[in-house]
Amino acid sequence: MLRPEQMSKVSVTGSKAVMDDVIEAAHDLNLLHLSDYDGSWEGFDNGDPIEGADEASEKLVTVRSLESILGVDEDDAGPSRIVTDDAVDSELEEIRREANELDDRLDEIDTDRRAVEEEIHSVEPFADLGIDLDLLSGYDNLQVAVGEGDEEAVAAALAASDEVDEYETFSGDRTVAAVVYPTADAGEDTVGDPPTGDRSSTSSDDALEDALVGLDFARIEVPDAEGSPEEYVDELRHERQRLQSQYDTVEGELEELRLDAAGFLLAAEEKLTIEVQKREAPLQFATTENSFVAEGWVPTDSYPDLEAALGSAVGDRVEVDELERADYHEGHPARSGEASEAGDGAEAVTDGGSVVTVDDEPPVVQSNEGAVKPFKFLLQMINRPKYTELDPTVILFLTFPAFFGYMIGDLGYGLLYFGVGYLLYSRFEDDVFRSLGAIGMWVGGFTGLFGILYGELFGLHVLGEVVFGGSPPMHKGLQPYYSEFGRTWLLVSVLLGLLHLTAGYVFGFINDLDHGFTDAYLENGSWATLMIGVWVWIFSRHAQGPKPEFLFEVLGGEHAAYDLGFTGLSAEVGLYVGLPIAVVGFLTMVYGEIRHFGVAIGSLVGFLESFSVLGDVLSYLRIAAVILAKAGMAFVVNLLFFGVYVTGHGAEEEWHFATGNMPAEGTMSHGHEVTEIMFGGLLHGGVASVIAGVVVFVVGHIIVLMLGITSAGLQGIRLEYVEFFDKFYEGGGRVFEPFGYDREHTAED
């Protein structure tokens, strides 16, 4: 579980006469991750695709194009089927022809529809104006402008123009038309203008434009049409409806074609994908004129299955060799036998010896099953682990739901988280949604479990009353009477941080052991030693003055939330154990940095980074902060709805929700006198107050529920990714992609 499946590098060598049979057998087995031959060995070239590969690829492109046109998805598959080559040729061509015809018709109708929309848009202003279109153009001596603007401003500008003899303006709700008869000398000062004797539009067509310069007037071109614009717009709208009806009809025909052809297209895509995989496989092989060599990775436990399958397919005409078993520490060690790394003078052979053509890293198959499996999703959001790294998925499984549940701690919220997770897990087939659903159920379960221990149901303490008789084993520490619990969670958060980070350093130490014990210690053990030494000293009573008192009170003594007898380590332990351990850790850590950066820079880097053993642990205080923050938010929602009254004074002060009647000050409740009404509660007002209270209660708890994800969820993920993973995890492992296909839509031919 902490290591990926062990992988073996294998070589398959044989005559080209049996290559097709080997490809078929290996593909059916779906276990061999092929390595790409890089052409580096003399006498060996990359193989050529098997005949028909290009034709199959073209058909596959056609199928996928048709699926896109028709909107086919996996839900349209139907039962699996056998798809023959003849069916692919005949049915595919028929579907292609019909789909393209319908798609072309849709494009034509859509083009016409857009043209009509543009025409409507251009004519609607004239319908607003109410003037026949043929009256707005075609004049020799009159100039006409139509646009959007202020009629009064247009009229004033025309009246002030020296080039305008007479004018008239018309307007609708949004549109203005201006008709101008220019003066006899309009445009005479324009260089190159013809004589102005007849005041034609040729000589004076700038008069109206000049008059409108500087106005907020958006000119609209007059369409080439006649008659009433209102009637013309009505005709255009009718045409738009007709085109929309045609469009809907063709869309219906396309939908009918999709339903008829979806199952075949998905099956054809699968068949052609498999065919292309097989026919293009030789591109990854090393070949000579008469032989081939295929290398790849297979899970070590499955190597006998590969050997047996190829032996059953072609007998002794192919040789299968296990070249190496990848070591978890070194990953890709030198191979044994006649084979060696490229560059060592080795020669590739095809007459029975091991053949080495590719030097690549083993792919990663994470061996996480059962309850741990969904948490691979959280890990792979960063990257999958390298083959040589420990896989921290199991740590995510053990810590993330617990952190989340500990921070939220409410049975009501837990049930809702669990329910949403179950819906995602049960209603979706996609692995991502199912993983999120499973994670949701786990965090919901832990939230509910801690909710029982806290005695809370949607922030109310009724669960503690029913299950524990008013004394649940845990309190969030929000109110004064239970403040010692809040301080306890601060200490617990620090202890969780120490444990979590120590696990990270241990993982890093194990990962680096392939470099030797010394390097592993300097890279990881020194940091763990420094961290443990520093915190042993902090938890001791040596130099106790500046240290927070709660470190020595919350787990022992009269102020303890849980009296475990711990009132701090002795001063001697801090002085003679903690500090020496910290010094050893600091010196070895700095030495490790000096090895990387040199004395000056390494010493400075080591000194500055040494403070992280304090900051990294303190970062886990966010756990306690979220506990109090979420408790406070739920408290406010319930306070507004139920109201809260107070009993006791000072440190003995307790807060109670008025789920029944609100008691008056001075009366007795819960065996104590009511000393204050913190808030009367919307529940105890009139009808309108109660309705408003219900809205506040429902919406408020939904907000708290959602913020629980963004606070507890994100903070928990941050602690995993930033604090924990930073100590050991790099990621970047290769995906295991076996040569083969998991059939869903086709049966074996």
654 and 670 in contact (C-beta within 8 Å)? yes
| Beta strand ranges found along 422-568 (DSSP E) | none
Mean pLDDT of 633-643: 94
User: Who wins on pLDDT, 429 or 15?
Assistant: 15
pLDDT of residue 469: 85
pLDDT of residue 168: 86
pLDDT of residue 543: 92
- Residues 718, 724, 726, 731, CA torsion sign: negative
Q: Is the pLDDT of residue 551 over 60?
A: yes
Q: Which residues of 21-45 are buried (b: 16+ CB within 10 A; e: fewer)?
A: bbbebbbebebbbbbebeeebeebe
Same fold, 1-47+285-364+734-749 and 138-221: yes
Start-to-end Cα distance in the chain = 38
Lowest mean pLDDT among 7-11, 638-642, 663-667, 684-688: 663-667
Residues whose CB falls within 8 Å of the CB of residue 198, separated by 6 or more in sequence, listed in order: none
pLDDT of residue 186: 64
Lowest mean pLDDT among 225-234, 448-457, 558-567: 225-234
Q: Report the C-alpha gap between 163 and 143 in whole angstroms.
A: 12
pLDDT classification of 557: cutoffs 50, 70, 90 = confident
Q: Is the pLDDT of residue 196 over 60?
A: no
Prediction pTM value: 0.77
Lowest mean pLDDT among 131-145, 192-206, 669-683: 192-206
Mean pLDDT of 81-88: 85
Query: Mean of the per-residue pLDDT values for the chain?
Result: 88
Q: Is the pLDDT of residue 17 over 80?
A: yes
Mean pLDDT of 13-28: 94
pLDDT classification of 133: cutoffs 50, 70, 90 = confident
* Region 1-47+285-364+734-749: CATH code: 3.30.70.240
133 and 151 in contact (C-beta within 8 Å)? no
Placement of tokens 């109206």 in the chain: 208
Out of 3.30.70, 3.40.50, 3.30.300, 2.60.40, which CATH number does the structure's domain 138-221 have? 3.30.70
- 644-647, strands of its sheet edge to edge: 654-657, 644-647, 672-679, 668-669
**CA distances to 379, 384, 717 from 435, in Å:** 12, 15, 15
Q: Report the C-alpha gap between 300 and 295 in whole angstroms.
A: 14
Residues whose CB falls within 8 Å of the CB of residue 350, separated by 6 or more in sequence, listed in order: 13, 288, 291, 293
3 state SS for 714-732: HHHHHHHHHHHHHHCCCCC
Tokens at 135, concatenated: 């009256």
Say which amino acid occupies 38.
D
Mean pLDDT of 689-707: 94
Residues whose CB falls within 8 Å of the CB of residue 280, separated by 6 or more in sequence, listed in order: 49, 50, 53
At 199-213, the pLDDT tens digits run 444 444 578 888 888
Bridge-based pairing of strands 291-299 and 33-34 is: antiparallel
Q: State the Cα torsion 432-438-440-446 to the nearest 10°.
A: -150
pLDDT of residue 716: 94
pLDDT of residue 135: 82
At 245-258, the pLDDT tens digits run 999 999 999 999 98
- 164-171, strands of its sheet edge to edge: 164-171, 176-182, 143-148, 218-220
Beta bridge partners of 164: 182
pLDDT of residue 331: 59
| Beta strand ranges found along 241-389 (DSSP E) | 286-287, 291-299, 318-325
At 372-418, the pLDDT tens digits run 999 999 998 888 999 999 999 999 999 999 999 999 999 999 999 99
- Give which of 620, 619, 654, 625 is closest to 486, Cα–Cα: 625
Q: Is the pLDDT of residue 694 over 90?
A: yes
Domain extents in the chain: 1-47+285-364+734-749, 138-221, 477-618
Q: Is the pLDDT of residue 137 over 70?
A: yes
pLDDT of residue 567: 92
Task: Tell me how long the chain is.
Answer: 749
pLDDT classification of 588: cutoffs 50, 70, 90 = very high
pLDDT of residue 346: 38
Mean pLDDT of 132-161: 85
Placement of tokens 């003995």 in the chain: 652
- Find the helix or strand (DSSP H, E) in which 219 lies: strand 218-220
The packing angle between helices 229-280 and 85-129, to 10°, is 160
pLDDT of residue 101: 93
Tokens at 95, concatenated: 């579907």
pLDDT of residue 350: 37
484 and 559 in contact (C-beta within 8 Å)? yes
